[in-house]
């Protein structure tokens, strides 16, 4: 097959995988410096994509570290996938996130529509900003849409939190993960199995950088302030004597029968322990429609609004146990040393099972009966590279690939 990747940068990934899917020979250079603009006109532009709550937390340390180094002009694009004050503005404010440069205002909708709206709007931003690279994080619809728009224009994509796999193709996030990694030039993993997962899919190891977890960078930066808030006191429950619950996955909340079963188990849980349940808008809508919100409140479950970043971190730090289906919460509880029970049949974050405090409950809501502060005493060991410095390692790689090479090229051609 002729190598046309230089003539048409948007095809540059095609050479990585043979028709049979086996990795081919390592490239002469590990990174795609081709996409770096050359010229004496000052630092190149990096576009950062944010859009949904978890990505604000993952991106904040990178934006902050990059600003400190002053190696790039930064443009922050908020897709508007999350738009509620409580899911977006409050979280961004707690993280001291700088003002966004562009707001795409895509809002909610079916997956195809939401992804398509981001794709079209983000393409326009790229045409105007002409970045040397786009940084995306995680596995939400905005992540995939922006990676696709950039890739089609031949703009380099850097993916933060690459290589996670649940191997559960029924999860929208799993589709987003696999496709985003395939489109990415630089892949940042936060745990060792990420590299194995990527290599198994034909990604060249030279593009993968094991850097650690930027979500834990944010946590360490905010932990003291969060603990001082003692957010559990607003619900009148004792420190370490309550269970914190979060549930928003379509597989748990979109099927009315399953949601009713889970709600029944939460009523049982509330008979044993105080329960605080900050309710995602998607879950609240389903519980309200079915009348189960009233049932939970009558049973004493503290049904509260989604919390800002600091208050939610405070609630996790003060909890005796956490019941969740969120990926980020599995990681944060592991870093905080708080017992986590995950209501899912699988996790794309196995390091939280082997090194952290997480246990998989599986698919059966009846397993919620085993949740409680006294039911398990975790002894977490430190997860390698979850040390609060992942963003520094990420910016090192981005500078090496997209800033230093750029200036080297400018010097050569001037």
C-beta of 23 vs 172, nearer to ligand UD1: 172
Structure tokens that stand for 90 in this block: 């409050």
Three-state SS for 188?
strand
248 is catalytic: yes
CA distances from 270 to 72, 126, 276, 410 (A): 51, 50, 9, 65
Q: Which of 31, 248, 355, 389 is catalytic?
A: 248
Nearest of 342, 360, 354 to residue 379 by alpha carbon: 354
Rounded Cα distance between 15 and 22, Å, is 11
Q: Which residues bind ligand UD1 (CB under 6 A)?
A: 52-54, 81-84, 87, 108, 139-141, 172-173, 248, 280-282, 285, 326
Rounded Cα distance between 60 and 78, Å, is 13
Structure tokens that stand for 320 in this block: 């005796």
C-beta of 87 vs 243, nearer to ligand UD1: 87
CB 175, min distance to ligand UD1, A: 9
- Beta carbons within 8 Å of 229's beta carbon, 6+ residues apart: 310, 311, 314
C-beta of 82 vs 406, nearer to ligand UD1: 82
C-beta of 81 vs 213, nearer to ligand UD1: 81
C-beta of 161 vs 185, nearer to ligand UD1: 161
CB 391, min distance to ligand UD1, A: 21
- Beta carbons within 8 Å of 99's beta carbon, 6+ residues apart: 76
Instruction: Please provide the DSSP assignment of 318-375 as one string.
Output: H-SEEEE--HHHHHHHHHHT-EEEE-SS--S-THHHHTSSEEE--S-GGGGGG-STTS
> 222: part of which helix (H) or strand (E)?
helix 214-229
- Catalytic residue annotation: 248
């Amino acid at each position: 097959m002729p190598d046309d990747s230089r003539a048409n940068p948007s095809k540059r990934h095609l050479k990585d995988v043979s028709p049979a899917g086996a990795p081919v020979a390592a490239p002469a250079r590990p990174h795609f410096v081709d996409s770096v603009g050359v010229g004496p006109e000052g630092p190149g532009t990096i576009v950062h994509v944010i859009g949904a709550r978890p990505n604000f937390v993952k991106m904040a340390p990178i934006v902050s570290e990059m600003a400190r180094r002053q190696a790039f002009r930064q443009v922050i694009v908020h897709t508007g996938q999350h738009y509620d004050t409580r899911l977006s503005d409050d979280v961004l404010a707690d993280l001291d996130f700088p003002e966004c440069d562009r707001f795409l205002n895509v809002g909610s909708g079916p997956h195809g529509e939401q992804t398509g709206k981001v794709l079209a709007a983000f393409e326009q931003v790229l045409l105007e900003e002409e970045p040397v690279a786009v940084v995306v994080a995680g596995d939400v619809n905005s992540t995939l849409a922006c990676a696709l728009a950039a890739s089609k224009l031949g703009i380099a994509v850097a993916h933060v939190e690459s290589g996670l796999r649940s191997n559960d193709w029924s999860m929208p996030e799993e589709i987003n993960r696999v496709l985003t990694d395939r489109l990415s030039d630089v892949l940042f993993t936060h745990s060792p199995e990420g590299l194995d997962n990527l290599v198994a899919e034909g990604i060249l190891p030279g593009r993968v950088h094991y850097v650690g977890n930027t979500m834990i960078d944010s946590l360490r930066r905010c932990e003291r302030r969060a603990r001082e808030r003692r957010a559990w006191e607003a619900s009148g429950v004792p420190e370490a004597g309550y269970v914190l619950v979060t549930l928003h996955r379509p597989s748990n909340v979109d099927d009315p029968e399953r949601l009713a079963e889970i709600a029944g188990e939460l009523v049982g849980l509330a008979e044993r322990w105080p329960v605080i349940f900050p309710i995602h808008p998607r879950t609240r809508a389903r519980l309200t429609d079915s009348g189960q919100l009233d049932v939970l409140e009558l049973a004493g479950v503290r049904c509260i609004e989604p919390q800002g970043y600091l208050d939610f971190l405070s609630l996790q730090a003060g909890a005796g146990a956490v019941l969740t289906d969120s990926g980020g919460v599995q990681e944060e509880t592991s870093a905080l040393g708080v017992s986590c029970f995950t209501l899912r049949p699988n996790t794309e974050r196995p390091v939280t099972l082997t090194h952290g405090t997480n246990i998989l409950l599986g698919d059966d809501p009846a397993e919620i009966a085993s949740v409680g502060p006294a039911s398990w005493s975790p002894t977490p060991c430190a997860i390698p590279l979850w040390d609060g410095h992942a963003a520094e390692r990420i910016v090192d790689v981005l500078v090496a690939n997209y800033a230093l090479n750029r200036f080297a090229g400018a010097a050569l051609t001037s």
